[in-house]
Structure 1
Amino acid sequence: MSGPVSGSVRVCVFCASGPVPEPYLALASDVGTAIAARGWSLVSGGGRVSMMGAVARAAREGGARTVGVIPEALVAHEVADEQSDELVVVGDMRTRKGEMDARSDAVLALAGGLGTLEELFEAWTSRYLRMHDKPVVVLDPDGHYDPLFAWLESLRGTGFVSDRGLAGVVRTTTVADALDALAPGPAPSAVSGSR
């Protein structure tokens, strides 16, 4: 297992790639700006639209290196972030996740739908299974994930979700807290900043 190296952190950001309200785009931009301000780099899903595009543009504007990993089928739909410092085109979604994982030191999930949830749960489950020790952080300033976390908490002690499983993710409500939780060093307490 390997975690972030000291110094520059390669942050994999999972987030919405479809139409969302403006405050979510602003949050994604704030995250990209903050990643750049720390001298870190961004690994994203390689799209130039919605939150995915906003985080990448802001990171680049701040001087961060951006790596996009996108399936070939989405390139054909003309949504690829051609401005990425490195755009990796892969055959399918499974290969995309593997490439994003291999190129990152930490995982940050912002608001998203089915794709974001699937990516978050794979990273979270892999951490629980000790397949990696990268920080897995959810930035949720407005309660987007409240119903999900309430449901997961309700499963605690039932045999379906363990305390250690729930401890595999850190939940935050501010950009600064999220990036602090991604930084190298002692692991922050799980589900910090939760409601």
Structure 2
Amino acid sequence: MKILIIGGNGTIGKTVASYFKKNNDTLIAGRTKGDVTVDIADGNSIKSMFEKIGKVDAIVCIAGEAKWDDFNRLTEDDYYIGLKSKLMGQVNLVRIGQNYLNSKGSITLSTGILADDPVVKTTSAAMVNGGIHSFVRAVALEIENGIRVNVVSSGMVEDAYEKYKDYFPGHNPIPMKKVINGYVRSVNGKGNGEIIRIYD
């Protein structure tokens, strides 16, 4: 299987990529480094990436940013960071990427526990995650050519615990093996329109 992993150099991405590389032709895309570069906030950049790599069997996105700050400090422009990058970036990966998927291919997006269990300073990020969940459920009803679209939504992962533990009091860090299995379920399973929640 030929798999494209966008964000394959990040905390979660590198672990997921390492797993899929064992038995698949795996390409890594990143904003500054990888087999191919892409800025998912730019639709033209997404199209250019696909033109370079051609058809694939699976697209996995573990990328996208959103601004974290106190609600009363967030400006309109701050919200647009998440809307343009994590939300529309992933929407555009589906919109454009479907044309570069082989029949019965899959697209896996990424969100996080904030959609269901937000913490302070995550008004923007939680909003974006929830929007992606609704998008995935809706697009699965209409996308053609046997393509499946799912989203993996994880709690705070073990590998990021030290960096983010103060934001998530009382949350149990998620083992990376469980996170990997969420992506395996989406790519290798038959589910469509699923929100694959990996919470504690």
TM-score w.r.t. structure 2 length?
0.48
Quick check: which one's strand share is greater? 2
Quick check: which one's helix share is greater? 2
Q: Which has the higher contact order (CA 8 A, sep 6+)?
A: 1
TM-score w.r.t. structure 1 length?
0.49
